Chain A
Amino acid sequence: MQDLTIHPEKKQLIIIGNGMVGHHCVEQLIERGATQDYQIHVFGDERHRAYDRVHLSEYFSGKDADALALGEANLHATHGVLLHLGVRISSIDRDRREILTPEGRLPYDSLIIATGSWPFVPPIPGPEVSEHPQARLVYRTLEDLDAIRHHAIHARRGVVIGGGLLGLEAANALKSLGLEAHVVEFASRLMPVQLDDQGGTALRERIEALGVGVHTGCATEEIVATPGHDYAYRMNFRGGEHLDTDLVLFSAGIRPQDQLARDAGLEIGERGGIVIDETCRTSDPEIFAIGECALWNGKTFGLVAPGYTMARTVAGCLTDVCEPFSGADMSTKLKLLGVDVGSIGDAFGTTEGAKSYRWIDEAGSGYRRLVVSSDGKKALGAILVGDNSYYDTLLQYVQNGIDLPKDPAALILPQSEGGAPTLGADALPDTAMVCSCHNVTKGAICKAVDDGCADIAALKIETKASTGCGGCAALLKQVFEHELESRGMDVDKSLCEHFHYTRQELYAMVRVEGITSFDELLEKHGHGLGCDICKPTIGSILATCWNQPIMDPQNVALQDTNDTFMANMQKNGTYSVMPRIAGGEITPDKLVALGQVAQKYDLYTKITGGQRIDLFGAELHELPDIWEELINAGFETGHAYGKSLRTVKSCVGNTWCRYGVQDSVAMALELEHRYKGLRTPHKVKMGVSGCTRECAEAQGKDIGVIATEAGWNLYVCGNGGMRPRHAELFATDIDSATLIRYVDRFLMFYVRTADKLQRTSVWRESLEGGLDFLKEVIIDDSLGLGDELERQMHHVVDTYECEWANALKDPEKLKRFRTFVNEHGGDPDIVNITERDQPRPARTNELQSLAVEIR
């Protein structure tokens, strides 16, 4: 634990709880300059730094604790905030204004309680918890999920008690861990808080169709251990029925974590919760409570947005302006087990005189309900099951009291084309809330645009909109584009001054019009001579579409120097040469041959991060001779110079490694040889690991493949380098043929739709609809493109030819590999120095002293 020294010149501010809301409060305090007057201490019971609990379930679909963490890792240190993780506060001494930590007492001037909730486990008789933890699991923290993962290993079936929002998420988690999942709900329908009967029925049908067992109106009376039976436990229900299972997960509601406040004598609500006023002060004015532990106006709030609003209120009260907390909208939009569910405002029509429109689709298990005021003029609430594309518009009608159209039913009726009806962004008042997590209104977005935000990324950074739960992304984009348009600005997406089209548009023109040369494209759709931006981009498009050798005369002038000379230019104008060493596997003979070439041409050699060997310091005129020798020794070009597949990194897999479950080297070789000729918008890297220990670091690659007992897990869109990004799990336990098919489609879809120089990671982030959309296109073939993408890839694979072998056959092409057109030999200005027994370019100061010696 960090030290508890006190700065006498500053006031002491203590925050108990480092969850989502506590963390947001710290960020807000820092932003408002509170660290000038306050020494801030934060205490968190959990050992992890604050993380995104809303997306907790992604812990099971590829994200680790780091990927879920909130904000910058060094935020606290940078601003002098002392963060104590893994420390539970045991009590508050209000008389002495001190808190009790395991290390001793610490005085406070102001105190903020942000202790969240705890998962309620009903007192159902069952086996001893210490011996049977798997009969009493909960779903709230990363540690809870670790426990679930641990106990799921030997389980076949899992039951969730509680059919609310969290219970269904938990059921999905069990399913994703490979278990047969069941949900047991006491009420007569699923999600009783958000949905009415018909909504519950539609949801139930959809969820059952996914293979999850649903048992409603079921009260569990006891859980008994059944050693020696098929399943480890039996759950007995009132009425005599039972269900056997290997583990039981409770999701029967949450309760405010108010113990500290109770013990300290603060006012507590009848059913729990620390009572606060509109400034978030408890009954002791020096103590605030925020987030799920707080009770305002008789209500607790189990969502993150109201907690964030409270955090802002407190940060304001402690610094400049105290904006009173005035309750929060509890509308929710979720995707549960892949099923859209939305609930807005007065969803049950409890307002006096309220009337409802309902649309029921029994065949497709869809349901929508719109609740309107007695005069039919305003929308009060809504329920959606099956399709949330109606959500944003309905929410705006309800939240902003916008007058309904003449036929309100149209708002929930299926649309023959163009998708759900949208309320034009101009119909929204400036006060309309776009992002409720970060309290960003349409007005704030307009202001940011006025202040110069020219793209969504900048807007997100400036306003924080859409960086919370992300539910408002589509609406944000719509408002943003509308604002740009109404200011007469248009987002210039032109490639460069010669082509007023995006890379994607040019790609389509080349394909559709069958254009095979830069000249032709320039003639038809561009102007001027071209430049160093459009030439390589179009060169790459032509190469992918028609697989022409980049050294063919019409392509030569398009390539940047690396592509032109099929080597990588280094800072002194020499090149590095990197033959392909597929999968990092190399025979001793080839290794010797490489060494001999390096010796003969005095090249510096280094092993790269991609399991290859790079030979540095070759001059232009030496390249053909070097390649002649390499090709004779059985090498081929490694495309290290191109925007194309670089390497497929692999571990040794089950051939040698005792943990390996598949032959990762063979898979790496197959992938590398298949895609080696493909030209892509940016470089592409892959990795294959032989088991989940992941020695090949496949999750840091554009395409990552990890062996499982049953086949392969496929990860996509990872990235190392300057902005590392974890690859996301795309498909599990697929066989080799399916893997190749998905990768074929994925890569071709990327080639078609990415912008110039866009890595897959950035492309993925720019894709509307995100990973789900990508899965639909690649796995479910939702755009009907699958065959075409595969056909294109087959063409590229079938017409592969080593570019260096091709060039060596053609004296015309070799003509260019001359340092001078009118002299033999190399550049006299290239001077090497020997260091650690290898050559390297002389530095400027070394060159100067060399010059003196010669003179």
Chain B
Amino acid sequence: MSTATAAKNTAQVLCGVHDLVDYSGVVALHDGRQIALFYLPHGRDRHSAPEVFGIDNHDPFSNANVIGRGIIGDKAGELVVASPIYKQHFRLTDGVCLEDSDVRLATFDVRLEGECVVIV
């Protein structure tokens, strides 16, 4: 309980839940960083509580800011997003690229707080 309160204190609102798109991504700007937000309205098993993931919008392979426009899904049980340019897959949980594990995108601690999406 105490950690949750602490989080609430430092958390900043990025956007509303209504700004998100089911099973897809949007991009928020935060401190000059572009964060791709992906929304699973019924969790990763399609039957539990909603989840949101924040990951760097910059695609290191194409050098363009496009990750938020990729398709999400799962590969061998891992939640991933596919870059829309050259199609590499990045894990939503830790940003690691499945095709080249030396490459890793920054991930952000984003959460749903009521009708808001916040970053911790």
Which A residues are closer than 8 A to B by beta carbons? 497-498, 528-532, 534-536, 553, 556-562, 564-565, 569, 571-573, 620, 815-816, 818-823, 827, 829, 844
Main secondary structure, interface of B, reads strand
13 more contacts with CB within 8 A, not counting A528-B73, A572-B62, A821-B26, are A529-B79, A531-B71, A531-B75, A531-B80, A534-B73, A557-B23, A561-B70, A565-B69, A569-B85, A573-B64, A815-B19, A820-B34, A829-B65
Cα-based distance from A528 to B69 in the complex (angstroms): 21
**A822 pairs with B64, CB closer than 8 A:** no
Cα-based distance from A528 to B76 in the complex (angstroms): 9
Residue of A whose beta carbon sits closest to that of B24? A557
Chain B residues closer than 8 Å to A565, beta-carbon distance: 69
Cα-based distance from A560 to B72 in the complex (angstroms): 10
Chain A residues closer than 8 Å to B77, beta-carbon distance: 528
Chain A residues closer than 8 Å to B23, beta-carbon distance: 529, 557
Chain A residues closer than 8 Å to B37, beta-carbon distance: 821
Residue of B whose beta carbon sits closest to that of A528? B74
> Which residues from 36 to 92 on chain B have a C-beta closer than 8 Å to any C-beta of chain A?
37, 40, 44, 46, 62-66, 69-77, 79-80, 82, 84-85, 87, 89
Given known contacts A553-B22, A818-B26, A821-B19, A531 and B65 CB-to-CB distance under 8 angstroms: no
| Interface check B11, CB cutoff 8 A | no
Cα-based distance from A829 to B34 in the complex (angstroms): 10
Residue of A whose beta carbon sits closest to that of B58? A829
**B74 pairs with A821, CB closer than 8 A:** no
Chain B residues closer than 8 Å to A620, beta-carbon distance: 69
Given known contacts A529-B46, A571-B62, A573-B64, A821 and B69 CB-to-CB distance under 8 angstroms: no
Chain A residues closer than 8 Å to B27, beta-carbon distance: 819-821
**A561 pairs with B62, CB closer than 8 A:** no
Residue of B whose beta carbon sits closest to that of A523? B46
Nearest chain B CB to A520's CB is how many angstroms away?
A: 12
Residue of A whose beta carbon sits closest to that of B27? A820
Cα-based distance from A559 to B71 in the complex (angstroms): 8
**A529 pairs with B28, CB closer than 8 A:** no
Given known contacts A822-B28, A823-B29, A560 and B74 CB-to-CB distance under 8 angstroms: no
Cα-based distance from A558 to B73 in the complex (angstroms): 10
Given known contacts A557-B21, A821-B15, A844-B63, A529 and B74 CB-to-CB distance under 8 angstroms: yes
**A497 pairs with B64, CB closer than 8 A:** no
**A822 pairs with B15, CB closer than 8 A:** yes
Chain A residues closer than 8 Å to B14, beta-carbon distance: 821-822
Given known contacts A532-B82, A821-B15, A821-B26, A556 and B71 CB-to-CB distance under 8 angstroms: no
Chain B residues closer than 8 Å to A559, beta-carbon distance: 71
7 contacting pairs across A/B (C-beta < 8 A): A529-B79, A532-B73, A535-B73, A561-B70, A819-B27, A822-B28, A822-B29
Cα-based distance from A547 to B89 in the complex (angstroms): 30
Q: Which bucket holds chain B's interface residue count?
A: 35 or more
Chain B residues closer than 8 Å to A573, beta-carbon distance: 62, 64-66, 69, 85
The winner among B23, B73, B75 for most chain A CB atoms within 10 A is B73
Cα-based distance from A425 to B52 in the complex (angstroms): 55
Cα-based distance from A37 to B82 in the complex (angstroms): 53
Cα-based distance from A396 to B100 in the complex (angstroms): 51
Nearest chain B CB to A528's CB is how many angstroms away?
A: 5
**A820 pairs with B84, CB closer than 8 A:** no
Cα-based distance from A815 to B17 in the complex (angstroms): 13
Chain B residues closer than 8 Å to A829, beta-carbon distance: 64-65
Chain A residues closer than 8 Å to B62, beta-carbon distance: 571-573
Residue of B whose beta carbon sits closest to that of A530? B73
Given B21, B34, B70, B79, which contacts A816 in the complex, CB threshold below 8 Å?
A: B21
Nearest chain A CB to B11's CB is how many angstroms away?
A: 15
Cα-based distance from A815 to B72 in the complex (angstroms): 19
Given B64, B69, B72, which contacts A571 in the complex, CB threshold below 8 Å?
A: B64
Chain A residues closer than 8 Å to B26, beta-carbon distance: 816, 818, 821
Nearest chain B CB to A256's CB is how many angstroms away?
A: 59
Nearest chain A CB to B26's CB is how many angstroms away?
A: 5
Chain A residues closer than 8 Å to B74, beta-carbon distance: 498, 528-531
Chain B residues closer than 8 Å to A530, beta-carbon distance: 73-74
Residue of A whose beta carbon sits closest to that of B40? A529
Given A534, A536, A569, A820, which contacts B28 in the complex, CB threshold below 8 Å?
A: A820
Cα-based distance from A829 to B63 in the complex (angstroms): 10
**B29 pairs with A531, CB closer than 8 A:** no
Given known contacts A528-B74, A569-B85, A561 and B69 CB-to-CB distance under 8 angstroms: yes
Residue of B whose beta carbon sits closest to that of A558? B71
Given known contacts A821-B28, A823-B29, A531 and B63 CB-to-CB distance under 8 angstroms: no
**B75 pairs with A569, CB closer than 8 A:** no
Cα-based distance from A528 to B80 in the complex (angstroms): 12
**A569 pairs with B69, CB closer than 8 A:** yes
Chain B residues closer than 8 Å to A816, beta-carbon distance: 21, 26
Nearest chain A CB to B35's CB is how many angstroms away?
A: 9
**B66 pairs with A561, CB closer than 8 A:** yes
Residue of B whose beta carbon sits closest to that of A841? B64
Given known contacts A560-B84, A819-B27, A529 and B73 CB-to-CB distance under 8 angstroms: yes
Chain B residues closer than 8 Å to A553, beta-carbon distance: 22
Chain B residues closer than 8 Å to A497, beta-carbon distance: 75-76
Cα-based distance from A414 to B79 in the complex (angstroms): 57
Nearest chain A CB to B115's CB is how many angstroms away?
A: 14
Residue of B whose beta carbon sits closest to that of A572? B64
**B85 pairs with A556, CB closer than 8 A:** no
Nearest chain A CB to B25's CB is how many angstroms away?
A: 9
Nearest chain B CB to A391's CB is how many angstroms away?
A: 46
Residue of A whose beta carbon sits closest to that of B20? A821
Nearest chain A CB to B14's CB is how many angstroms away?
A: 6
Given B22, B34, B87, which contacts A532 in the complex, CB threshold below 8 Å?
A: B87
**B71 pairs with A560, CB closer than 8 A:** yes
Chain B residues closer than 8 Å to A571, beta-carbon distance: 62, 64, 85
Chain B residues closer than 8 Å to A535, beta-carbon distance: 71, 73
Residue of B whose beta carbon sits closest to that of A819? B27
Chain B residues closer than 8 Å to A528, beta-carbon distance: 73-74, 77
Given known contacts A528-B74, A573-B64, A564 and B69 CB-to-CB distance under 8 angstroms: yes
Chain A residues closer than 8 Å to B63, beta-carbon distance: 572, 844
Cα-based distance from A557 to B72 in the complex (angstroms): 8
Cα-based distance from A559 to B82 in the complex (angstroms): 12
**A561 pairs with B65, CB closer than 8 A:** no
Nearest chain A CB to B32's CB is how many angstroms away?
A: 8
**A557 pairs with B22, CB closer than 8 A:** yes
Residue of B whose beta carbon sits closest to that of A569? B84
Chain A residues closer than 8 Å to B64, beta-carbon distance: 571-573, 829
Chain B residues closer than 8 Å to A556, beta-carbon distance: 21-22, 24
Chain B residues closer than 8 Å to A498, beta-carbon distance: 73-74
Cα-based distance from A560 to B28 in the complex (angstroms): 20
Chain A residues closer than 8 Å to B71, beta-carbon distance: 531-532, 535-536, 557-560
Chain A residues closer than 8 Å to B44, beta-carbon distance: 529
Nearest chain B CB to A58's CB is how many angstroms away?
A: 39
Chain B residues closer than 8 Å to A557, beta-carbon distance: 21-24, 71-72
Given known contacts A820-B28, A822-B28, A827 and B73 CB-to-CB distance under 8 angstroms: no
Nearest chain B CB to A518's CB is how many angstroms away?
A: 9
Chain A residues closer than 8 Å to B15, beta-carbon distance: 821-822
Chain A residues closer than 8 Å to B82, beta-carbon distance: 531-532
Nearest chain B CB to A289's CB is how many angstroms away?
A: 56
Cα-based distance from A572 to B34 in the complex (angstroms): 15
Nearest chain B CB to A201's CB is how many angstroms away?
A: 62
**A820 pairs with B29, CB closer than 8 A:** yes
The winner among B19, B64, B87 for most chain A CB atoms within 10 A is B64
Cα-based distance from A642 to B26 in the complex (angstroms): 21
Cα-based distance from A14 to B8 in the complex (angstroms): 88
Residue of A whose beta carbon sits closest to that of B23? A557
Cα-based distance from A815 to B26 in the complex (angstroms): 10
Chain A residues closer than 8 Å to B34, beta-carbon distance: 820, 827
